[in-house]
Amino acid sequence: MSADRNKASARRFVEEAFNKGNLGIIDEMVTADYVDHSLPPQLPGGRDGLRQFAAMYRAAFPDIHYHVEDEVAEGEMVVQRAMVHGTMKGDFLGMPATGKQASWSEIHIGRFVDGKLAEHWGNTDQVGMLQQLGLMPTPGA
């Protein structure tokens, strides 16, 4: 599959699963032997863990929106840098809902096989997100 088709698959996955909350897309767009190197340790691996994480994320931030700002692909690998915006209206990974809005950056690397996500690595600006949500003090504030 071409790098351009893999980029299109990556964009579609973000739009459907996270921006629209269509978690049914996971079975269509993620391989059965999917490996996620970034899931919280309390979640199972594979598609089930991804589905649970996406559901928890959207429950905590029901208005979550990803805007992919940069995207680079080579072969089966796609890298996306995104800005994420949302209002924390529900608990998330043991953190209580704050009702506050936040914007944070994320970087995702996906490996695609035949147009399906087979492997994922991610990095989130968790400190920036938590400070904006009032869950972590800002130094000097």
Question: What are the pLDDT digits (tens) for 47-105?
Answer: 999 999 999 999 999 999 999 999 999 999 999 999 999 999 999 999 999 999 999 99
Domain carrying residue 11:
3-132
Q: Tell me, yes or no, if the pTM score tops 0.85.
A: yes
Q: What distance in Å separates the CA atoms of residue 73 and residue 113, rounded to the nearest whole number?
A: 13
At 140 the pLDDT is 79
Please report whether residue 101 resides in a domain.
yes
pLDDT surpassing 70 at residue 1: no
Q: Which of 60, 58, 73 is nearest to 11 (CA)?
A: 73
Q: Give the list of residues 6+ apart from residue 81 with CB closer than 8 angstroms, or none.
A: 68, 69, 70, 71, 105, 106, 107
The pLDDT score that the predictor gives to residue 50 is 98
The answer as to whether 45 is a domain residue is yes
Do 33 and 120 contact (CB within 8 A), yes or no?
no
**Domains held by the chain: number:** 1
